[in-house]
Amino acid sequence: MTVPEQVNTIVLHHSATSNVAGELALSLGAPVFTVHTKRFPDGTANVRLPTEVRGKNVILVADTRPDSAIIKLLLLQAALQRGGAARIDTVIPYYAYARQDRRACKEDQPVAAEVFAQLIGQTTNRVGVVEPHNQSFMGCFGESAVSASPIREIAEHLESFGVGFVLAPDEGALPRAKEVAEILGVPFDHLDKKRVSPTEVRIVPKELKVQGLRVAVLDDMISGGDTTAAAITELKRQGADRVVAACVHGLFLGDALDKLRVAGCNRVVATNTVAVVPYGKVSCVPAIVRALQEGQK
């Protein structure tokens, strides 16, 4: 398919990121195309651009899991360069290797967050990542890399739930909880946790003034659900009325949702970076648009 000459910006995406790409294209008034991918008999990947890109500004909405998705991403960026794209902006709704940063990796392990960031950043003009867990590796994507925070949108959703208190399940989540609490004009706090095993988390006892309140437990992601479930259990023990588990990236691996339910969770809210309806209630696209626009200033 050929894009009319008067169209300057187009959006490309993997099928796994179609919901974000479609909404982003609509927001920007740009056409959107799905990238063609296939595998050769020997298992190697082959990608093909679905439209002419010469002279166009291309926004590539990319998936990074499983590992093979990163190979496709790198090949796509190379194809866009070879095809003569005027500019390439790579948008990553969920950067799957974000947790493998310097704080998490031992000396005999690669810092995977940095390794893949460097590779991705080499063949694009700019990378935008939605809630990258922390900022320590963002520079590896390149000097112009930007992070997109949908905290504002999450806060607006929590306001409709009548949240009167925001809790960070651990100290690392405190800055996000504070930001949401300030938007809502409600108190906030955090818990300290001790991970006993890969599947068991213990909360250090702490008095929280949550009696009769609707409380939001907020983190950047919910993966196995152990940390959030432990926080919910503590909130219910201290008399919280209703509890909503909120996050940017709703992975909900294994029986995570069951853990939240058993702990007493009344509602689960995530953005659409990973989760879909009914849990991906909050769109990350406004945050992406803000980040891309602010990065051009």
Residue 274 dihedral angles phi and psi, to the nearest 5°: -130, -50
CA angle 266, 270, 275 (to 5 degrees): 115
Where are the alpha helices (H) located in 67-205, listed in sequence order?
A: 67-82, 112-121, 151-160, 174-184
Cα-based distances in Å from 152 to 88, 116, 157, 213, 286: 27, 28, 9, 21, 10
Q: How far apart are CA 155 and CA 286, in angstroms?
A: 13
Q: How far apart are CA 170 and CA 217, in angstroms?
A: 10
Which single residue is written with the structure tokens 């509602």? Answer: 267
Closest CA to 222 of 214, 213, 212, 232: 232
Which residues neighbour 152 within 8 Å (Cβ) at sequence distance 6 or greater?
A: 183, 286, 287
State the DSSP code for 243: E
Among all residues, which ones are annotated catalytic?
193
Q: Are 241 and 264 in contact (CB under 8 A)?
A: no
